[in-house]
Amino acid sequence: MRLEDYQPYSFELESTDLTFDIRADHTDVESTTSFRRKNDEQNELELDGIDLELLSIAIDNRPLTSNEYSVDSTKLSIVDLPERFKLTIQTRIYPQANTALEGLYRSGDLYCTQCEAEGFRKITYYPDRPDVQSKFTTTLVADSGQFGVMLANGNLIRDEITSDNRRRVTWVDPFNKPSYLFALVAGNLAVLEDNFTTLSGRNIALRIYSEPHNIDACTHAMESLKRAMAWDESAFGREYDLDTFMIVAVEDFNMGAMENKGLNIFNTSCVLASPSTATDAAYLRVEGVVAHEYFHNWSGNRVTCRDWFQLSLKEGFTVFRDSEFSAAMNSRNVKRIQDVDVLRTAQFAEDASPLAHPVRPTSYIEISNFYTTTIYEKGAEVVRMLSTMLGQDNFRSATDLYFDRHDGGAATTEDFVVAMEDVSGVNLDRFRNWYSQAGTPVIEVEESRINDLITLHLKQSCPPSPNQPSKSTFHIPISIGLISIDGQDALGQAGAANGFDIHVHTDLNFENPNADGTLAFHFDCEETTITISGVPPKSVVSFLRGFSAPVNVTFPRSNTDLLHLATLDTDGFVRWDAAQKILGSTITTPASDTQFAKALLQKLSRSAVSAADDGETKALLASAMTLPSTLYVLDQNPGRDVIELDGGRDRLLSEMGIALEDSWEEIVNQNISDSPYHADGISIARRSLSHLAMDYLGAGLEKRGPGTAWDLYYDLYRRCDNLTDRLFAFSRLLRLEASLAEKKSVVIQDFHDRFNASALVTDKWFSVQAGCKVSGTLPRIVELATHPEFDLQNPNRARALLSTFATVNHREFHRSDGKSYTFLADQILKLDSLNPQLASRVCIPLTRWQRFDSGRQERMKDSLERIQRDCQSKDLREVTQKSLVA
Ligand code: PHE
Ligand code: ZN
């Protein structure tokens, strides 16, 4: 599929009427659609359809004979049509045999649908594209008594028992929508009910459905939903439009959740939360995903995408919106650091890989492969840059204009940018390169200093990516500050208020210094020089504040300057980033001098000990003291031995564990709590700080006497009342000395039995073992893959074992004999025949081979080649082909 081939559809749809007759071994679907031809020249109707049994087809109630239409494995076409006509099609489908979880499928005894991006064509023949919209009426028919709950989009208008003792319910959705937003659910579910009064005083009924035994775990999602509804009104002026809003939790789901109009369908992992079955991270994720799907009602549903090349129009924008929401509900700095961390580890890696693609791609083979971190997270960064460049008020006016202009329509990323330009008058020509060019730009900074004059030389470039050997200049917003020797902001109004008199000279446009001492420049040329005069001695430049653009920065600077920033900068991101740089360089230099890492951790851990009991302060300290992940370090040093780097990371942990033992102990004692679990900011921060300190402490103990950290972790494991602590302790126990094998197996059994009723906790049981980075664990992983509770058909379970193994367990996944790659490839091929979308996702770690040393590269490519040879799906074919080209 190519962007340049886009053609509008030649027909308009006035209405779509669907009836689903659900029987034990099949479901019959009857769809009646009213079409109107848009122009005289085009008189061929093309409908999409896959894996359908066609039972009948009629135009204006007249059945067609087989020579009046043609049908192949993906399309049905009819020629010589009147200007207006009603098309009725009956198809038969087999939801119980649908393991791809696309279209209508069964999850346990529950029937549900997943239609984005191209699942509707597995239900009936239809123009399955986002720019074709219509009003849907949906009728579900099943044996009466079979399902307590039968739902579809919109409002319920009829619910009756027919003469043949079947239940028949009809839902009408008054809004036009594309087929990918269609949904139905039929099952025996419990419901949690609440309501919300909108800004204009309308009362909305809110319902969350789950299996009865999980309904108590839905309250956090409900509270999150109400907060999201209120926030979207105040932050974006967006009100909800239907009378009911429903969420259904299902156990088998390929992704996190889906924004179907008025009837969101969620992976249980993004709805359920109770202290003993969800971690702190899960609580935050539920809040974020509930908000994300709700926000799609405007950014995605009311204004949808013209075609799937515009996917980031709804996803990037909506991720930006949910991230702003989470920042407002919790801590802005903490959320920013978490987002940047994800972006730099996952998205930068994608951007440097053969699967790199622009935020608006120009071609694809299988659209499901494009639900990527580039479309989502980089897309959100692009929207964030716009909001930074326009400023809050203009940005809000521009989003208002965008929603107004395109309400009820299907838009492009270009439409979004035009709305930004129209409101602000800022020229965004160069900015558009963020949508069309793949790859992470690099900014090289050179600083020189003569007396009170700082000269910053900036140069931008962007490495080549597939089909894009050279790049044009980007328009990059860059935020800069200056931190004086005693930690004061020295630039701008804040600088003046602090008694500094500093002048900045540049050819770039820049925003008036705002009160916090940050200058925002529009860096839209290849190279430039910024000079700052009147600089007081020993002040340090704070660069890319707030991570103002998704770029890699190379800025050679001394550890002394980094230490200054890490401890004194007023910008949370820069503080964290400077700390990561010091720690990262200590990890990569074998036998390095650990003096700066130690000085840094000493200062930070002391601050932690004396810190007020404040969530943001504690959370920021915890993240600054967390060693950078091995894969991020590897990405900064491609070609290095991953196991060596992982070992370097562990060594630094244990050395600092010993050197700063007293501080770690004190941090643990101060932050471990005996009061009942709460998922609020301060409690979460205390837990992450205490876990961090226990990591250092435990590593130190192990170094002195293998096995001696057992009690530290076991004590927590035994007495905690929540999954966050228990999971942490469980995973650390499993990493300890092999001689503890017997004790470990007791704990493994205990964890297993404790919450055996909860599928989500059982997922964790698999993932902790899969991620246990001890060499020689492959046989245990293989054993787990044949465990009775392992199920390749359940995406959460498959990911818990396979994706965790491949992304977390560097030690064993990257063993040098390549046996783990072979194991993963075997599993991927099995999965391919069941669920191609999932198979292709599980394959991603193998496609990141370029960052590894040459031996591992060869063995990873061997596995990719075998997958390419033996796979059935175009999902895997695209991913393996593209990743092997480079
Ligand atoms: N559109 C969903 C989201 O909110 C993601 C999704 C895509 C879900 C495809 C299912 C299938 O991000
Ligand atoms: Zn989304």
112 alpha carbon – ligand 1 mean position (Å): 15
* pLDDT 10s digits, 697-745: 999 999 999 889 999 999 999 999 999 999 999 999 999 976 788 999 9
User: Which residue has the least CA distance to atom 8 on ligand 1?
Assistant: 258
Peptide bond into 597 cis (omega under 30): no
Cβ of 118 closer than 6 Å to ligand 1, yes or no, is no
Is pLDDT of 592 > 90?
no
**Residue 56 CB contacts under 8 Å (≥ 6 apart), including other chains:** 63, 88, 89, 90
Q: Helix H segments across 611-680? A: 615-625, 630-636, 642-659, 661-671
pLDDT, residue 515, reads 67
pLDDT, residue 439, reads 98
* pLDDT 10s digits, 170-220: 999 999 999 999 999 999 999 999 999 999 999 999 999 999 999 999 999
Least distant ligand from the CA of 180: 1
Least distant ligand from the CA of 256: 1
Is pLDDT of 555 > 70?
yes
**Residue 550 CB contacts under 8 Å (≥ 6 apart), including other chains:** 343, 347, 348, 378, 381, 382, 440
**Residue 3 CB contacts under 8 Å (≥ 6 apart), including other chains:** 307, 309, 360, 361, 362, 363
Number of residues written out for the chain:
886
Across residues 85-101, what is the average pLDDT? 98
819: its two tokens? 């046996």
Cβ of 292 closer than 6 Å to ligand 1, yes or no, is yes
User: Which residue has the least CA distance to atom 2 on ligand 1?
Assistant: 258
654: its two tokens? 């244990």
DSSP per residue, 744-775: HHHHHHHHHHHTTT-HHHHHHHHHHHHT---T
82: its two tokens? 């009147």
Cβ of 102 closer than 6 Å to ligand 1, yes or no, is no
Q: How confident is the model at residue 221 (pLDDT cuts 50, 70, 90)?
A: very high
Identify the DSSP state of 117: T
Annotated catalytic residue 12:
no
To the nearest 10°, the Cα dihedral for 292, 296, 298, 301?
-170
How far CA 166 is from CA of 32, 162, 472, in Å, comes to 22, 5, 63
Global pTM exceeds 0.85: yes
Ranges 290-304, 726-740, 800-814, 828-842: which has the least confidence: 726-740
Backbone angles phi, psi at 294, to 5 degrees: -60, -45
Q: Which atom of ligand 1 is nearest to the CA of 376?
A: 12
114 alpha carbon – ligand 1 mean position (Å): 9
pLDDT, residue 724, reads 98
Q: What residues are paired with 541 via a beta bridge?
A: 482
User: Minimal CA–CA distance to 7: which of 34, 42, 48, 35?
Assistant: 42
* pLDDT 10s digits, 357-379: 999 999 999 999 999 999 999 99
More confident residue, 839 or 510: 839
318 alpha carbon – ligand 2 mean position (Å): 6
- Vertex 159 angle, CA 189 and 248, to 5°: 25
Rg (alpha carbons) of the chain, rounded to whole number: 28
Q: How many other CB atoms sit within 10 Å of the CB of residue 806?
A: 26
User: Which residue has the least CA distance to atom 11 on ligand 1?
Assistant: 116
Q: How confident is the model at residue 19 (pLDDT cuts 50, 70, 90)?
A: very high
Cβ of 315 closer than 6 Å to ligand 1, yes or no, is yes
Q: What CA–CA distance (Å, rounded) separates 265 from 183?
A: 8
Across residues 40-59, what is the average pLDDT? 94
Q: What CA–CA distance (Å, rounded) separates 203 from 199?
A: 10
312 alpha carbon – ligand 2 mean position (Å): 9
Q: Which atom of ligand 1 is nearest to the CA of 253?
A: 10
pLDDT, residue 510, reads 81
Cβ of 367 closer than 6 Å to ligand 1, yes or no, is no
Is pLDDT of 3 > 80?
yes
* pLDDT 10s digits, 76-89: 999 989 999 999 99
Backbone angles phi, psi at 386, to 5 degrees: -60, -45
Across residues 77-105, what is the average pLDDT? 97
User: Which residue has the least CA distance to atom 3 on ligand 1?
Assistant: 258
The upper half-sphere exposure of residue 462, i.e. CA atoms within 13 Å in the direction of its Cβ, equals: 27
Cβ of 725 closer than 6 Å to ligand 1, yes or no, is no
* pLDDT 10s digits, 507-545: 998 876 566 899 999 999 999 999 999 999 999 999 999
Q: What CA–CA distance (Å, rounded) separates 354 from 262?
A: 38
Across residues 651-665, what is the average pLDDT? 97
Which residue from 101, 115, 270, 371 has its CB within 8 A of the most atoms of ligand 1, so it is best to mutate?
371
Q: How confident is the model at residue 43 (pLDDT cuts 50, 70, 90)?
A: confident
Least distant ligand from the CA of 259: 1
Is pLDDT of 147 > 60?
yes
Is pLDDT of 46 > 80?
yes
Mean pLDDT computed over every residue of the chain: 96
Among 118, 293, 366, 812, which one carries the catalytic annotation? 293
315 alpha carbon – ligand 2 mean position (Å): 5
Cβ of 808 closer than 6 Å to ligand 1, yes or no, is no
